[in-house]
Structure 1
Amino acid sequence: MLDAPDQPSDDVLPEPRPLTPRAITLTAALLGSVSLLAVLVVVPTPYAVNSPGPTRDVLGEHDGTPLIQVSGAPTYDSTGELRLTTVSSTGGPGYPSSILGVLSGWLRSSSVVLPVEQVYPPDVSQEQIDESNQAEMVSSQEDATVAALTELGYEVPATLMVAGTVPGTDADGKLEENDVIVAIDGQALPDYQTLVDVLADVAPGQTVTLTVRRHGQSVDVPVVTSEREGGGAQIGVLIDPTFDMPVDVTISIDDIGGPSAGTMFALGIIDKLTPEDEADGVTIAGTGTMDVTGAVGPIGGIRQKLAGALRDGAGWFLAPEANCDEVVGHVPDGLRVVRVGTLHEAREAMVAIGAGEADDLPTCVVEQPVASPAAG
């Protein structure tokens, strides 16, 4: 029988091998890299990073609650999606951008890195920013509802209360806060749209007579109109309208702020209140502010929103015409952009896309310079 080889006893451990210089160097390098990475993750920088944010289907639900709920009128289902788009930002008060985040933003074509002072005003708290964004969101929902109902032919009565006047205009000092404008040149103003329509026929510099209700009395105030930005006449009055909605619309979206979802909210309301399946199985994304007259306004972060739309399955994107200069050259492959300036144009685009008849819809194009005639 062969003897078994000697085995170390259970209470005797082998002596550890001494660390080599190479192992010490690798360990130190590893610890240094981990420490550097930790610094890159947490150390704030003076930059803001804007990246593609989440999208939401305004015809769908979020956390089990429909984004748009309507009462007082029949509603209809849709097989398509209408997605509002957002921008995710770091660099604001309480949410600083890290060095790693800034480097990542520089490397991604869908993100933009800017000095923080270009994005966030100084000496403003995150609470103030959140309150402002929420107020803009609430206002945009009301404006979108008024515009959508008006587009559908509803009458939306409004009380046109004066919230202030524009300094330097003739109305400054003549109109008072809390005046209610009830007529212009003798024509009654039952809603905001009537005021817009009347002013469309007034030339800047022309005098109009505003009839206002002031402290229970009717007062006529002559006002010389001035030219508003973009052309047309304005009376120089800031109006805070109160609307009497013929249909109750509730929009439930608590985690997104700002006014840029107005156009998609308005389209969602229209889709729900009409029996036609406008989107008809197509995913359409978009952005743009919406005022009560149905005008689509420009927004920020259009390039990030384009990328977010494609990421979440959209094949079409409705872009404000005022943002076209930022769109050209930055449309990701697989996404088609349609420019819109009014809610009516956006509605027509939605219908055409759903019907598969969108080839002739207007898009954002680069204006080509006109060639000078060759010398003879």
Structure 2
Amino acid sequence: MTLFDGSEPIRARSLPRRTVAGMWALVIAALVLVVLTFLPTAYVIQRPGPVYDTIGTAESADGEAVPLIEVSGADTYETEGTLDLTTVQVVGNRDRTPSWFELALAWLDPSRAVVPIESVFPAGVTTEQREEENAVLMVDSQAEATAAALSELGYDVGARVEVADIAGDDAPAAGLIEPGDRILSADGTAVADATELREAIQAGGGAPVEIEYERDGEQGSVSVTPEESTIEGETAWLVGITLTTAFDFPFDVKIQLDNVGGPSAGMMFALGIVDVLTPGALNGGEAVAGTGTIAADGTVGPIGGIRQKLYGARDAGAEWFLAPASNCNEVVGHVPDGLQVFSVETLEDSLAALDAISAGDTGELPVCTAG
């Protein structure tokens, strides 16, 4: 074919075969990308969530700013700086998983993580059930944090072990022990927490256990024969009760934080409570963040999403971060610029870290190392 531009004839040239192949490859890749966008996936994305200052304010259900930690019946003191608790947001659920395109973008973002959906939403558990479980864990963590903080300050918190639930009508304890019973002892040994009762039951090797309890102000005892079960590949003897630790606090400590679930804010709650109840600023007015579960005895435990929480803390302006020692392997090599991370195992360790930060002398504080 000959083309004319009004002067000399111009002959059309065919495109090189390599160029045509490249263009088709781009078209096919684009089509594949479009198809993948609509295909379901088996993953969700974890990303940094909101950050809340435990010595600051939070928004109530009515949209009003209220103290995140409010104490009634005891002297409180002014605070400075921040003691931020960090959270993780999950993008996707079993009803709507992220697209492959969204997953690809998340893989390239160091502040995000792509995880199997089963690790966040176990099979058979609805989103509503998961939210309910996390709400219960949050309530428990607030009680444990209050107990740890007040115990650290020398208060008697009156800890007691109570039965929360019975595992069905065919459980060994069914008809013998009731929800609300306070467990006093097992085979004559006083029980201070769920672990001690568990140990007493295991020590019997399946033999009947004499459990002393208190119900409606009256004491009683029953003999319960445990049944054998396998938990994570190990044999255990169970009586079929769920325990909780209740406390009698000397005054009211109210933690006001909506729409956040799970137990990982425990340590930061405890630090906030101690700061509110003691003169001066624990952190020396610095911006400090952290995470970690906490037990009433002050033990700090591991949490999930530590890498996302590091980025969330840095983006919120924190310069220092307190991380559970048991999460250190996930921390090494993933600390964002501008943030310094210290390893803690107990509430006492956390308080020591804040004291060093306040004094500007952090050289001796433990940091996370590989392995």
TM-score in same-fold range (> 0.5):
yes
SS in structure 2 opposite 1:360? coil
Q: Does 1:340 align with 2:344?
A: yes
Residue 27 of structure 1: aligned partner: none
Q: Does 1:257 align with 2:257?
A: no
User: CA RMSD, aligned part only?
Assistant: 3.9
Q: Does 1:180 align with 2:194?
A: no
2:347 and 2:268 mapped to 1: Cα distance? 9
Larger Rg: 1
Letter in structure 2 aligned against 1:144: A
Shift of 1:43: 6.6
Matches within 5 A, 1:144-183: 144-163=145-164, 176-178=177-179, 179-182=181-184
1:54-94 deviation line (CA, Å, top 9, x unaligned): 21111111231111111111111111100111111112144
Shift of 1:307: 1.0
Shift of 1:248: 0.7
2:362 and 2:75 mapped to 1: Cα distance? 28
Query: Which residue of 49, 52, 57 corresponds with 1:56?
Result: 52
1:98 and 1:42 mapped to 2: Cα distance? 7
Identity across the alignment (%): 46
Compared CA separation, residues 163 and 256, structure 1 to 2 (3 A): closer
2:135 and 2:126 mapped to 1: Cα distance? 14
- Alignment check: 8 A CA contact 1:338 1:349 kept: yes
Compared CA separation, residues 131 and 220, structure 1 to 2 (3 A): closer
Residue 42 of structure 2: aligned partner: 46
Matches within 5 A, 1:140-289: 140-163=141-164, 176-178=177-179, 179-182=181-184, 205=203, 211-213=212-214, 218-219=219-220, 238-289=242-293
In structure 2, stretches of 5+ residues that fail to align are 1-29, 60-64, 226-231
Letter in structure 1 aligned against 2:282: E
Residue 124 of structure 2: aligned partner: 123
Shift of 1:158: 3.4
Compared CA separation, residues 253 and 43, structure 1 to 2 (3 A): farther
1:153-174 deviation line (CA, Å, top 9, x unaligned): 11111342234699xxxx9799
In structure 1, stretches of 5+ residues that fail to align are 1-33, 368-376
2:125 and 2:56 mapped to 1: Cα distance? 35
Q: Does 1:105 align with 2:109?
A: no
- Alignment check: 8 A CA contact 1:78 1:280 kept: no
Letter in structure 1 aligned against 2:353: A
- Alignment check: 8 A CA contact 2:69 2:254 kept: yes
Query: Which residue of 305, 308, 312 corresponds with 1:308?
Result: 312
SS in structure 2 opposite 1:52? strand
TM-score when normalising by structure 1: 0.73
Letter in structure 1 aligned against 2:297: T
Q: Does 1:78 align with 2:79?
A: yes
2:261 and 2:138 mapped to 1: Cα distance? 5
Shift of 1:209: 7.7
TM-score when normalising by structure 2: 0.74
SS in structure 2 opposite 1:53? strand
Shift of 1:45: 3.3
SS in structure 2 opposite 1:279? coil
2:213 and 2:109 mapped to 1: Cα distance? 55
Letter in structure 2 aligned against 1:336: Q
Size of the alignment, in residue pairs?
Answer: 322
Compared CA separation, residues 355 and 174, structure 1 to 2 (3 A): farther
1:83-130 deviation line (CA, Å, top 9, x unaligned): 111111112144532344212201101111123233311232221122
